[in-house]
Amino acid sequence: MSTNTPVDGPFPIPVNTTPSGCELDISAFLKRAVFAQLISAADEDPEALVEELREMAALQRSALHQGPDSHARHEYDACMERLVNELADGGAIPVYGVQVGRLAEVLASIAAPRPVPGQRGAA
């Protein structure tokens, strides 16, 4: 597995080649944005955060039991969307300038067809 980091800021995004494609490493975004916001929320009002997460856990359990089109599922999805907007800037990771081109080049090179080694002829 080879690694390339075409996006180096504000959140570095290494791209790891895998046998079937690639993985985008968004751990810097998770650490610096999402978890940092979560930690701040816990510091400001830990009881409220825990209560909100408990309510979401109850909605999740109910949604799993009731099915994908249940009221609980829709309520859980709405709560999750709100959390993503509050804690993760809507889930969007910014990529600027020449980094857009570098990311596109790396992904295009990974997606390009690769020659398959020749098979040995039957004996």
Distance CA 70, CA 48 (A): 26
Structural contact between residues 15 and 22, judged by C-beta atoms closer than 8 angstroms: yes
Q: What is the mean pLDDT of residues 53-59?
A: 96
The pLDDT, as a whole number, for residue 3 is: 74
More confident residue, 118 or 17: 17
- The pLDDT-based confidence of 121 (bands split at 50, 70, 90) is low
Distance CA 57, CA 71 (A): 15
The pLDDT, as a whole number, for residue 2 is: 61
Q: What is residue 94's DSSP assignment? A: P
pLDDT in tens, 5-40: 999 999 999 999 999 999 999 999 999 999 999 999
The pLDDT, as a whole number, for residue 115 is: 73
Per-residue pLDDT at 46 exceeds 80: yes
- The pLDDT-based confidence of 123 (bands split at 50, 70, 90) is low
The pLDDT, as a whole number, for residue 31 is: 95
pLDDT in tens, 66-109: 999 999 999 999 999 999 999 898 999 999 999 999 999 999 99
B/e letters for 79-104, b = 16+ CB within 10 Å, e = fewer, are beeebeeebbeeeebebeeebeebbe
